Amino acid sequence: MNFSSSAVESHRPRIVVAITGASGAIYGVRLLMFLSKLGSIETHLLVSNAGWLTLLHELEMKKSEVQALANFTYSVREVGATIASGSFATIGMVVAPCSMKTLASIAHGLSDNLITRAADVVLKERRRLVLMVRETPFNLVHLRNMAAVTEMGGIIYPPVPAFYNRPSSLEDMVEDTVSRILDLFRLGPTISDSWSGLGKENNNST
């Protein structure tokens, strides 16, 4: 079958980024900043009502400032948006941070807003879904919901900082975590620092 050039649309890879009301709005913001810096990825942003409150409280960011970081933004009530359909091709979705309410809705297939519908689409189309769950400690319901999403092909990625690279600031820890999230999507050369192992002088001899 032949397609005319007008029938086939050439597009940059697309990714959906959602920010919910859990603590850790900085992860979503830094993720958008990283993607904007890459320049080769088209970003589609969703923020829950609680997410807007957290952005204002934790980062003192206005809606317009956050929206300016993405190529496209949607209301969570906009269930007829492009990202609500599997025919709209994306490389996947990151929920950063992901509240336990959003986790539960995704785990049980409750597409009750555009965030959970977009996540459901990513799962059904076998695309990459990464949930940066933010809660501690976890109760049994949290753990079962995380197991359910994992069984469906999603990736549960609590933003647990690494210390082997000796971060000198909170910014270092956030950026390392965000770069590792992006590496999960295999967008090109690895962004995060690779583990090079411990030197022989640090190993205990047997």
Contact 13, 91 (CB under 8 A): yes
> Is 195 among the domain residues?
no
Q: What is the CATH number of the domain that holds 64?
A: 3.40.50.1950
To the question of whether residue 177 is assigned a binding role by annotation, the answer is no
- Positive or negative, the CA dihedral 21, 169, 33, 85 is negative
> Is 46 among the domain residues?
yes
> Is 200 among the domain residues?
no
> Is 73 among the domain residues?
yes
* pLDDT digits 0-9 by tens, 158-180: 999 989 888 999 999 999 999 99
pLDDT value of position 49 = 97
Average pLDDT of every residue of the chain: 90
DSSP output for 48-61: -HHHHHHIIIII--
> Is 7 among the domain residues?
no
> Is 205 among the domain residues?
no
User: What is the extent of the structural domain holding 158?
Assistant: 14-184
> Is 18 among the domain residues?
yes
To the question of whether residue 23 is assigned a binding role by annotation, the answer is yes
To the question of whether residue 134 is assigned a binding role by annotation, the answer is yes
To the question of whether residue 100 is assigned a binding role by annotation, the answer is yes
> Is 136 among the domain residues?
yes
DSSP output for 11-22: ---EEEEEE-SS
Spatial strand order in the sheet of 155-156: 72-74, 42-47, 14-19, 92-98, 128-133, 155-156
CA dist 177 and 184 (Å) reads 11
Between 190 and 55, residue with greater pLDDT? 55
Alpha-carbon torsion angle 33, 63, 130, 140, nearest 10: 140
To the question of whether residue 10 is assigned a binding role by annotation, the answer is no
Number of domains in the chain: 1
Give the global pTM.
0.89
* pLDDT digits 0-9 by tens, 68-125: 999 999 999 998 999 999 999 999 999 999 999 999 999 999 999 999 999 999 999 9
To the question of whether residue 22 is assigned a binding role by annotation, the answer is yes
To the question of whether residue 102 is assigned a binding role by annotation, the answer is yes
To the question of whether residue 132 is assigned a binding role by annotation, the answer is no
Tokens at 183, concatenated:
């590496």
In this prediction, residue 4 has a pLDDT band, given cuts at 50, 70 and 90, of very low
pLDDT value of position 124 = 98
Question: Is the pLDDT assigned to residue 203 strictly greater than 70?
Answer: no
